[in-house]
Amino acid sequence: METPRECGRVLLTGATGFVGGRLLGRLLETGRTVRCLARRPDAVRLPPAAPAEALAGDTLDKPSLARAMRDVDVAYYLIHSMGSGGDFESLDRRSASNFAAAARRAGVRRIVYLGGLAEEGADLSPHLRSRHEVGRILAGSGVEVVEFRASVIIGSGSLSFELVRSLVERLPVMVCPRWVRTEAQPIAIGDVLDYLAAALDLPPGPSRIFEIGGPDRVSYQGIMKQYARRRGLRRCMIPVPVLTPYLSSVWLALVTPVLAGVGRSLIEGVRSPSVVRDPGARSAFDTHPACLAEAIDAALAGEEARFARRPLAELARRTEPDNAATLRWGNRILDCRATRVAVEPGRAFEPVARIGGPAGWYYGNWLWKLRGLIDLAVGGPGFAPSRRGPQPSRPPRAGDLIDFWRVVVSDPPRRLRLEARMKLPGRAWLEFQVEPDHGGSIIRQIAAFDPTGLAGLLYWHALWPVHKRMFAGMLAAIARAACRDDDARQGAEAEPDRPAGDTKGPAHGR
């Protein structure tokens, strides 16, 4: 009988992160059993019935590491502390030392590590210096280490990619300091995953370092220009001779607040060229990285596919009932709201299923009609002449038109997603989800907008005061309608049957 070690159990750290979250599926495709170590194991997205588990733990907690390493064949180290604030180099050093020691004691065969690509001996930023130091600490454990050093990773969620996206989407005219002309060799996240997964079956040997990148050698400015082309945006880039990393990070924090916490570390890192000088990865692995244009297209298409199939309520779970939150998902802005009703989910969904058309939008109907007229005036479809085909009273189905929305997901009595058909500087969705909650229900409402460039962002923020009031009013009115319908139904069920002509009151009043 095979032992767990012989079956090839894999330990994965960083399973809730950009790379680790995607690698989990790839590892499961190999038939391996995967154990994920995470501070919040409930945040690890484990496929149903998959040979995988999520353990609570931390690389700074030695006992939890010892438990996680039991019967492990290969361990993936995909974490860093750059976003933690403070002395991240010290945290990275402690984390790597703990991980290496635990792997050695547990008899782990191989550690696979993903670091950053930059030439040794150069004037490295603290972040890249720490990435290289982590690799040396892991290799110093005596356990075989396969270290990949990657250039800019192209994919939704990559810090470098989000930096490029934020600048290009927000700024029609960009002042470009010297660091944007630093040469890089960007690589698609899919190709990075191919390398990481292939490391499982690499023949045994000494610890090795593989430099990985795509076929294009291009500057950050070149990446930004290519991203603008793929998104259909026209951008003017004006070079300037000097702009220190500190001033660049301040400017970045103003333009892209979501990256403010790691802005300076990012800017300092891109000062160093990240190009492949050792071609060893080409001969060791059967991987043929995509070019930059293909990588950007794949990143945008992958994000679109995940958005299409993922219920937005999963992203909005942090929104407590009767509260609101504004979240970001890739380039999309989400207005998330939730309310609790003392009605079972099937009944709570009924007002949602009636939305639009004759029933209206529950709040500010005249504003919705005005928006339809404006849309018609600027060449859009306006309100659709048909709501749900020949049976307007049935629940909505995918493909139905509801005023200037199209139904893209309909799963009564749980979920309804609408996509806007109106003319916009971007794309918009409106989603409702109803879930059970202690004998009642929670109704979640999410309005999502994918702005196209600066015009889209200005549109969203200019109309935000109106949208805020309308979204809040609509959800509150839907909740009232659900409760009112339920009260009316219960009253009808409680009314006793009487003979015709009996006009006397209830028995207790006689």
Task: Say which CATH number the domain at 201 has.
Answer: 3.40.50.720
**257, 406: one domain:** no
Q: What is the pLDDT of residue 293?
A: 96
3-class SS of residue 505: coil
Range name among 95-99, 165-169, 249-253, 495-499 with the lowest pLDDT average:
495-499
**295, 380: one domain:** no
Q: What is the pLDDT of residue 440?
A: 92
Q: What is the pLDDT of residue 390?
A: 45
In a domain, 1, yes or no: no
Q: What is the pLDDT of residue 252?
A: 66
Dist. CA 237–CA 171, nearest whole Å: 9
* pLDDT above 70 for 6: no
**241, 274: one domain:** yes
* pLDDT above 70 for 496: no
Q: What integer is the mean pLDDT of 396-411? A: 91
CB-based contacts of 370, cutoff 8 Å, min separation 6: none
**316, 297: one domain:** no
In a domain, 5, yes or no: no
**52, 128: one domain:** yes
> For residue 338, what is the domain's CATH number?
3.30.530.20
**330, 301: one domain:** no
**247, 326: one domain:** no
Q: Whole domain around residue 481: which residue ranges?
A: 310-491
Select from 270, 305, 340 the last residue of a domain.
305
Q: What integer is the mean pLDDT of 421-441? A: 93
- Per DSSP (E only), the strands in 5-133 are 10-13, 34-38, 52-56, 74-77, 110-116
**297, 338: one domain:** no
In a domain, 510, yes or no: no
The total number of structural domains that make up the chain:
2
Select from 280, 305, 330 the last residue of a domain.
305
What is the value of pTM for the model shown? 0.83
Select from 262, 277, 305 the last residue of a domain.
305
Cβ atoms < 10 Å from Cβ of 342: 14
Q: Cα torsion for 11, 17, 20, 23, to the nearest 10°?
A: 140
**392, 267: one domain:** no
**55, 188: one domain:** yes
In a domain, 498, yes or no: no
Q: How high does pLDDT run on average in the chain?
A: 85
**259, 371: one domain:** no
In a domain, 500, yes or no: no
In a domain, 503, yes or no: no
**377, 404: one domain:** yes
Q: What is the pLDDT of residue 245?
A: 60
In a domain, 290, yes or no: yes
In a domain, 2, yes or no: no
Q: What is the pLDDT of residue 504?
A: 47
CB-based contacts of 125, cutoff 8 Å, min separation 6: 265, 268, 269, 271, 272
